[in-house]
Structures are given as C-alpha cells and as structure tokens.
Amino acid sequence: MDRKKVDVIIPCYKPGKRFLELIAKLEKQTYPVNHIYIMNTEEKYFTNLVYGHQFETEHKNVTVTHISKMEFDHAATRSEGISKSDADFFILMTDDALPKDDTLVEELIKPIESGEAAASYARQLPNKDCRYIEKYTRVFNYPKKSMIKSSQNLKSMGIKTFFFSNVCAAYDRKIFDKLGGFVNFAIFNEDMLYAYKLIEKGYKIAYVAEANVYHSHNYSNMQQLHRNFDLGVSQAEHPEVFKKFPSTGEGKRLVRMTTRFLKKQGKAYMIPRLYISSAYKFLGYKLGTNYRKLPEKLVMKLTMNREYWLKKNIRDAASRIDPYSGYGISKEERK
C-alpha cells in the first residue's frame, strides 16, 4: 500500500534548544515526514536559536515563515501553515512538544489512514521537571487507554467528547478543507472548536494513547489565571458550543479526583496548594467568560495575548462600518 504524504506544521515563538530536538526527532520517524512548515513569530528569536547552525542546510525538508507578533493568531497562523502543504494528512504541533519515540507519526495517523477517524490527538506525558499535581492532571486528561469519540458520547462525556489538543494532533486534509477548517480568528481553543464541528457533522475523533509526546508546564498561579482568562474568553466568543457543553463540571471533577489521588498517595499536605491553584484557574475563567463587563484596561492586564484585543478592536470597528468585513463575502454575494 502506498504511504500517504504527511506534513507537520509548527507555530513557534521564542523557541529553545528543545525545539531543535523536536525537529531532529521528526526527521527520524518510522513513518516519514514529507515536510515541516514552521510558522515563527518574531524572526530575531529564531535567528538567535539557530545562530552558528547550518539550519537550512541541515534540514532541507523544513520551511520557515516569519511573522510579527501582531500577525499571530491561534487559528489563522495555523491555517496559513496548512495552506502551504499539499499533503494528504497534516500534523499540528507546538514548539515545546517532544516525541517520546520514532513511532509518533505512525501511531497518530493510524486511525485516520484506516478511516476510523477524521482527526486524532496524542497522549501528553509530563516532563521530568513536572510538578506532582500537574502529573496527575496529565493522567486525567490523557489516560493510558485509546478511544474513538463520536456524537454518541455527548450524553455521557459532554465537553470531553470534543476535547482535543493541537499540542500534537493529526488531521485528514480533505475533511478539513470540506468543513472549512478552523475559525478565522481565535484567542484560544481553535482545536476544540474544530473538533466540535467534526462531531456535529458526524465524524469521529481518535485519542491515540500509543502516540506519545512529552509536554507539560509548571505555571504559577498568576500564569494560570491569565491562561484561563483567555480560555474563558474563547468560550464566551462561541456560546453556540460552550453554552450547550460547559466546562465547569469537568473542572470540578478534576479537583475532586486530584484530591482523592493526593490522599491515596499520602500527600494530603498538597491539597491546600491544589485548592489555591484551582481558585486562580476558576477566577481567570469566570473573568474571561464575563470579559464584556470588564473595563478594557483590566482586560489587557488579564490576557496573555494583548495583540488579539488590538486586532479585535480593529475588526469590530470595521464590522460597524461594513457588517460583512472580515468574512470574505464578495459584494455580489451580499446582494
């Protein structure tokens, strides 16, 4: 059987040495990667990383596109990278995800290649320096057992049905194009919004526990607040999805399960830390879902993505002048 062509698209910002290791590992996969497209934000950071390396000579199957921070968008930047590819399947990764072994691509695309699913996502393992509580969060969100998710799971799993992560995810290109790809403009959650679209249209999503990447963060409480603020904003921007399937219930379940885990492991002394961290997350989330009620100065202090709001203000102003602006609708179609 002829192998399908697979490309990898990686948005990149202030990459470290781990990124170079990621590229090296992608080039040694058992299922060959055809091409790697890097969408790098701010050229100076990338230049500093590869200084002294013959990067373009060493990695002939890599194309780097530089954009400014103002140009970056969670959805649009990925879509631009995808538009450069003509592969049958594409994989989206973040610059801090690291394949555990050389079978990542092979395992990740199996359910797509077989026709079982239209998209798949990998299991995220904690890094060596990952904090104890966060290690359990990895297990909670990325268990050891693979599964195929469809609309039949909505009643029992709710929002978890279309839980999906572009930290490492594969897509069927034909279906992606057929459904119109990602939303045009997103502060966060472009992956889950697309996953919801797949489920709604009758397609299936695969969680592939055999495809492993190392990826975790040791966020401070304030970093969690900022991150969850943007998460809340993304949900407020798409009530057609998140009002039907709120995420608060899943957050409460995580806290309950983590509390139980800490007690079982004899680490009950960590429970106050868990509750404080969870309070910051919830506060950030609630502020984000109610961002329209907040003064603009406070929004800019709470967000992780100031450029999003600057662009949003421009788009909102343009839409007041022309309600069809930014939607790619021609004058003839408007009539």
Report the SS3 class of residue 37.
Answer: strand
Those residues of the chain that have pLDDT short of 70 are 1, 322-335
Predicted local confidence at residue 300, as pLDDT: 96
Q: Show the tokens assigned to 298.
A: 């406070």
Torsion 147-151-153-154 (CA) sign: positive
Q: What is the pLDDT of residues 57-88, one digit of tens each?
A: 889 999 999 999 999 999 999 999 999 999 99
Q: By CB neighbour count within 10 A (0-12 exposed, 13-18 middle, 19+ buried), where does 151 fall?
A: middle
Report the SS3 class of residue 121.
Answer: strand
pTM above 0.95, yes or no: no
Residue 21 CB neighbours (<10 A): 12
Q: What is the pLDDT of residues 7-35, one digit of tens each?
A: 999 999 999 999 999 999 999 999 999 99
What is the C-alpha separation between 181 and 183, in angstroms, rounded?
7
Predicted local confidence at residue 324, as pLDDT: 55
What is the C-alpha separation between 143 and 123, in angstroms, rounded?
7
Amino acid type, 131: R
As a residue count, the chain comes to: 335
C-alpha distances in Å from residue 269, one per residue of 3, 147, 272, 274: 52, 34, 7, 10
